[in-house]
Each structure stands twice: as C-alpha cells, then as structure tokens.
Structure 1
Amino acid sequence: MAGIYIHIPFCKQACYYCDFHFSTSMKKKDEMIDALIQEIHLRKDEITEPVETIYFGGGTPSVLSNKEIDQILESVFSLFDVVEYPEITLEANPDDLQIERIHQLAESKINRLSIGVQSFYDEDLQMMNRAHNADEAWNSLVEATKYFDNISIDLIYGIPNLSMNRWKANVQKALNLGINHISTYALTVEPKTALAKLVKMGKIPNPNDGEAHEHFLALVEMLENAGFVHYELSNFGKPNYFSKNNSAYWLGKKYVGIGPSAHSFNGTHRSWNIANNALYIQAIQKGTLPNEVEKLTVQDRYNEYVMTGLRTIWGVSLKRIETEFGTHYKDYLVKEASAFITKQQLVLENDVLKTTINGKFFCDGIASELFWVD
C-alpha cells in the first residue's frame, strides 16, 4: 500500500510558530491547482502499489473550494490504483468550517478531517496569531462531528503561560466532543519564524521544556485513560482510528508528495520539491519536476528506521535490523541502547526496542544517540 500527499501552500495569515512552506497571497491559486494536477499526471507511474491514503496538507487546504478539491481528486483516482475505501484527509482550520461548508465536505470524497484547533482558549490562539477564535474552534467541531466520524484535531502544549489546569481543560474539551484522534505538539521556536523574532525581542517568553514535559505526561495519562492508544510520539488514536497517512510515514511505506515543498519516498530514494510557488509553477508548466533526489545509503535507512521506530508503539525490531542492515548494526544498536535501558528510557521486549513513558518525550534525542555515524 502507498500514499499520496498533496501540499496546498496557501494560508489566510501566518501563525507565529509556523515554518512550513506557504503564501498568504492567493493570486496564483488557480495556476497552482492546474500545476498540482499536471504534476499528478507527470508522476502517475511512480507508484504501482494500491493507494490507501490521500492527504491534503499545507498550508491550509480548507481555503480550496469543494470544486477545486474534486478536480485534484479526480486526477488522482483516474491515474492511480486507489483502493475501494481510501482514507482521504483534509486539513482544515476552524474559521473555514462554517455549517454550510461542513455540509458540502460531507458530500464530497473527503472522509477524514484534521482540524487545526491548537487551543480552545483565545489567549493561546492570539499569542500564536491563529486566524480563528475559541468559539469558532468549538462550534466547528460540534457541527463537524455530526457528519464526520473520523476527525483528528491538533493541540499545542508548552505554550508560555499555559497553566496545567488550562492544558488539561483543553484536552478534556476534545474528549467531551468525542474526538477519536488527537495530534499534539510542543510549541517549538523554529529559526526565521515570527515567534523566534518575538522571543528574541523579549515580547514572548521562550517556551519552557520542563513545563512542556509536564504537559506531555498529563496528556498521555488523560488520553490513555480515555481509551486512546499512544501509537506515535505526537499521535493518539482510538482503536481503528489511527491515521493511515501518519502510519504509512512511520512504517516506511512509499508515498508521493505533490506540490511545492512536498517530500516523496519510494523505498530507496527520497525527493523534495522546490519550496517556491512561482518557480514550482513555472517548472511544472514546462513539464519538468522541480525536485531534488537523494539516494539513501544503508546508514541513512538504518538511522531513519531507528528514529521512526522509537517514536511508535511498533518500536525497532532487532531481527529487522540484522536482516536489512547486518549483524554489526544490530550489535551496535544493542550496545548504544544499553545506557538508555539502564535509565529506563528504553526497554527491550521480544527483540523489539521501544521507548518507555520516561523516554517517549525525549525519543528524538535518544534516537540521535543511536544513529550510526561514520
């Protein structure tokens, strides 16, 4: 099985923390949609496996009309072998999800919404420069849950001045709405973002890692008690509601990324499109793919498997390490992991290395210590 990711590089306004590729100008939207469809045609032979997940990410895909979404999906369905019941996700912002729009989406091929709530409190939303307010977040979900069973929401923790009580209230509001999938992220100050500038100027406090860790532990406890499975560092889902798109990435399945800045993976090579709307459109109009391609070495593939595996409930299989990469890689991993096992941040069960609750929050850092470096 494989997946298709479609990057919609437009937003109404820039969130302070965001370092994804997007434009707040919609002037080239029509040209962009034509280019996306043309790229789909150019890459129709890259995947022979059945496509089980189609994901509209961004940016803010909900700025597209239903007609525009349908045009893109028609190209995908006509050119790829799409399974009978694919997961088709649209990332959406609450301010785009008025009642009429939700009704329209419910009648389209979209069968999963990923809604960028981030917080149910105005003070948090204003600090992050989100386009919606708390009422819009709540009301959009009340309406969306009437028509969509498969809904995910994003929440951000570690926000400066976010008390534990308010964070728990955020999570509880999601539970009260009956949401079946929740993605959560610690607020991170990325270089060249508005947030980085504001922190440097002293206008916003630097996020506190200790507070973020406490928020994370409270989150895990609340969601697991509510029947969620913590299947990946940032993702929690009820059984049968894991994101197929997310899981495909973490399990190393093939996917094609369409649109500016989109990444692709075919099992041996990784590629990424240029992160510039105008240059992307120009190249596609000429029939060329504006991307860079990297062939992954054995070392690259080992490091990626360790990183992705430790983030998930599936862990890192020593048998797979030995089979795919060799005994020396397995022996190296066991040796380097021993210190983290002693600290109870990792555990080795049935020849599978996994992070414990003590290590989960730090798993990216732990993984980097287990990388094979020449």
Structure 2
Amino acid sequence: MTDQTPAVMTFARSDIRSIASVEVGGETHWLGEQRDFRRHDVLAGFLPEHGRFSLAWVRLRDGERLDVHEHPTKSMILVCKGSVHLIGDREQKLGEGDVVCVEPGAKHGFETLPGEEFQGLSVQFDGTGLYEDENAPRVRFSEPTALAELESLNEARLERFAGHRLFDFFDSGRMRGEPLLRRRFVSALYVWSVYFQRMLYARQAVCADPELREIYAGHLREEFGHDRLLRERHAVSADVHDPVLEAAGTWFVMRMYGADEAAKIVIVHMVIESSCHVFGEKTKAAFHDDSAGETSYFDLHAEVDEDHREIGRDYLRGLSPSQIARLLPVCEEAWNQLELVFDRMAALVEA
C-alpha cells in the first residue's frame, strides 16, 4: 500500500458529536439526539463543499418530541428504524423505509409515543446543516413548547406561596425576637425536613434510569444530613412529631414509589426546590448568626436551591405535549400538599 492508495474509512454513529437542544429566540427547544455529519472534522472534509449538502443522524425515543418548526432550505428525512408521528402541516404515522420531503417554509415536527423509538437520517441539499452550528440554528419554531404552560403554572403557585402567612412572622421581625416562636417553628420544620430526606432516599432507591439516578445522587449528596444539621444547631428533640405534618410528608415519600420520573421531577424540583429557595430567602435573616462561623440550615437553602430547582428540566423538555399536560394536575396537587405543610407550621407557631 502506498500513500496514494485510496483510504476506506469507517465511523461509528457515536463518533459524531451529539447535541440534544438548541436555543432559538431565547427559548430552548429539544431535538432528541441530533448528530450532524459536519460536526465531525474528517466527515466534514470528506463531504463536498460544491453543491453543498448536509447529513445528520436524528433520534427520538419514549415520547420525545421535536417541536413544529420551519427552515429556509429543502430537507429530506429517512426513517431508518422504528416509527414516528409527523406533525405540523401534515400529520401521519411513519415507519421504517418511509421518506419525508419538506419544502422551504413548510411547518413540520416529529413526535414518538411512550415506549416508541425513531432513528433516521436528515438531509439538507443547500448550504449549512440545520443544526451544524448549534449556536445559530437555521430553524424557526412556530409554536411555544408545552413546557411553558407548566412553567407558568408553577411560577403562579410559587408567587402565591411567597405570600404565605407563615412568612409574616419573619417579615415582621417577630421570629427573630421571640424565642418561643423560634422553638415552635424549628420543631415543626424539623418534622418536614425528616420527610424531605426520606423522599430523596425513596426516589434514589427505585430510580431505574441510569442518567437520572446519577443526577438524583448528586442532589442527595448535597441535601444529605440537613435534617440533622437543623436538629443539632437548634437543639430540637429527635422525637418531636406532629400527625398532620407526618401525613403530608408521607404523601411526598409515597409519590416517589408510585409516580413516573417526570412527575417526580415536577414534585421535587419544580415545586419543593422552588419553594425552598423562597423559604431560604424569607427565613435566613431571622436565623443568621455571624458569630457561629458556620453556614446555617437556612443559609444553605437560600444558596443552593436556585440550582436544584433546574434539575430535570432537560428531561421535561423532551416530553410530548400530551405528557406535559398530564403533569399539570401533578404540579397543582404537589403545591396543595406543600401549602398544607406550611399551613400546619403556621398553626403550630401560633399555638
């Protein structure tokens, strides 16, 4: 073999760098798994620039959705494996071997059902690939993501929660100045904190998704022992209990056994962690002690929960509108249960 011998090269699909989402117009859109051939240096050099075309592997699975969009160039999608639903200007179920031809400006998207998987090849015949440069994708999404409605509901409930009557004790300064109120509050909070820990243990124990299990494990490590920190720093009796708080806390624990992963993300991260950030901001001043030289339970929740509330958002972005719709009542119910917890805390403080 000489240097002039033509080379035969092979590339695994995994050799081509994958992206899962792009930002268009300030909003993140889920792509499933998208691997543009020109994001691989050797393949990019092999493909001709004259009469330039682009190729990309695409993959959607288990109810994932690529939102309806349009682009300025012709596109062809070949279904190589599995099945998928074409949505947009034309709706049709597609199977292996089917070919979709999309004219410039035509609105189209793809959606799988739970348990369904689609693998295909996306071809553009003119210019840069649609997502070849993920920082400047050549697409325009023509409908808002279904996740926006869920986010809006959660933000509305969070705003309502920020005005909870329990926080009146903090805003007025009474919690900082009245030791009896502080003892009652911390004792009630400790009961809820114990159940929060149990909820995270339960979720970790039954999670079957390896990627989510690793994400959950990181969250658990950061939250581990916060109940003990609260008890030791504020001299709370380990056997303090309240039947209402325990009943409400048990609801959250049991949902980790019976809910799917999307519902767990809504309950733990959209609802509880969002509330924890507001809680930390409202309460840290009343319990702040510079002389202690250590971060308090309340400081911790004001600092880290902003990151914790974003956990699982990428997973939710990959869900179909019908799957997101099923999460709306989950969000409402979780907020109702959490408000029950704080209603009881307020009642115990006032006792």
TM class by shorter-chain length? under 0.3
Structure with bigger helix share is 2
With the length of structure 1 as denominator, give the TM-score of the two structures: 0.25
With the length of structure 2 as denominator, give the TM-score of the two structures: 0.26
Instruction: State which structure, 1 or 2, has the greater radius of gyration over its C-alpha atoms.
Output: 2
